[in-house]
Amino acid sequence: MITGLGAITPLGVGVPDLWNGLVEGRSGVRPLEGAEFDGQPVRIAGTVPEDPAGLLPRPQARRMSRASQFAVIASREAWRDAGFAVSGTVESGIDPSRVGVSVGTIIGGAPVLVDGDRRLRDKGPRGVSPLTAPMTVPSQPAAQIAIDLRITGEARTVVSACASGTEAIGQAIDRIRDGHLDLVLAGGTEAAITPSVMASFAAMRALSTRNDEPERASRPFAKDRDGFVHGEGAGLLVLEAEEHALARGAHIYCEAAGWGLSADAHHLAAPDPSGDGIVLALRRALADSGSVPGDVVHVSAHATATVDGDLAEATAVRRILDERGAPSPEVPVTAVKGNLGHLQGAAGAVAAVVAALTLDRGHIPPTIGCDDPDDACELDVVRHVPRPLPSAGDVVLCNSFGFGGHNAVLALRRDRSDRAEEGEAA
């Protein structure tokens, strides 16, 4: 069960800023400031509007990378949202050995490494902080969350390109389902907007070049899409065993019902245009959750706004939805990257936060940037205004795909149990 949500994104600090920004159709994509980005072919990104270091005690913030700062801030919000004391597990009356952390990231410590290299060139070896190496490794966000909340069960890190956050949540589902843990803080974080990373993506021709219209640059499923917008942020969710959540009277957003993985085994960066690998991950997520295509009520698409990526995903999703049989109403699809850009290792986790809210609140935020949908994608993309979540069906599929052919899909299920009905009646 998902009982707590936390996020820090280009739309602001906290889940309310994220949700309200999505519902209102706002964009968090901005021009990149600073001389280090002068001369770059792409000078826009989805950046968090507030310095995360200012939201933490100074001594603590100085020992964290920006990605770790994002992760700790989002985890505190999720922990508090689940009804726990923000001071930690012990103060919340929970056995810390039965709680875990599972965080996905790709190169979250990249800015620390870039700064260390600059200091080495400018000041020599004595100018490099001894914290540079430990702050750079990808496992630091998970470790910092565990330290902050005194979680001793485990602190694991998943690195599978842009599927990292989704896979981290999937692994948390398994750890709870198999009885190893009662509760896991799971999600993803990323803060890798550096000149070299931006230049590399631009050289790949993967980024949108709409520098003059940043708020309209990211265009998922649009006919005129021209690449993704790099972004940063974090999304963390509290996943909890059902009996544990019920025993303490927790609010349940939805059920984390299952997940699926696959590998394209096709190309270092390009997706398999057939969509076969994605279809396999979608089918595995449905099977793992005990669902069938007819149960799908909504799809939260990966949809980075690259020409080939969006088409491959749409092809795969269409194949699954067509298996529902006829006549069947169209399943609404949405993509949050129009608002946020592509948050890399955090993308799937933030999308999962939004999907949980969609199931809980009963309406779907619109996809912005898709003013002229690509007919070749053949999907019912929610656009312009929010749409009520259909009553038929109870499963949301959340897609994440990464360079190298990493495919991960979450299946979240609407809570339709007696306790939900009793809560609504109350």
Residue 24 token pair:
């209102």
Please indicate whether residue 162 is annotated as part of the active site: yes
Task: Give residue 63's identity as a one-letter amino acid code.
Answer: R
Q: How far apart are CA 197 and CA 203, in angstroms?
A: 10
Active-site choice (342, 370, 377, 398) = 342
Give the closest residue to 328 by CA, choosing from 343, 318, 341, 338. 318
DSSP state of 330: P
Q: How far apart are CA 319 and CA 61, in angstroms?
A: 47
Q: How far apart are CA 364 and CA 272, in angstroms?
A: 29
Q: Hunting for tokens 């949405």 — which residue is that? A: 334
Please indicate whether residue 398 is annotated as part of the active site: no
Bridge partners of 46, per DSSP, are: 29, 231
Give the closest residue to 145 by CA, choosing from 62, 65, 56, 73. 73
Active-site choice (230, 254, 298, 302) = 302
| Contact (Cβ atoms closer than 8 angstroms) between residue 222 and residue 371 | yes
Give the closest residue to 72 by CA, choosing from 170, 148, 17. 148
Active-site choice (162, 254, 370, 377) = 162
Please indicate whether residue 251 is annotated as part of the active site: no
Task: Give residue 261's identity as a one-letter amino acid code.
Answer: L
Give burial (CB, 10 Å; 0-12/13-18/19+) of 120. middle
Q: Hunting for tokens 């194949």 — which residue is that? A: 319
Separation in Å, CA 88 to CA 145, 229, 246: 10, 36, 20
Active site residues: 162, 302, 342
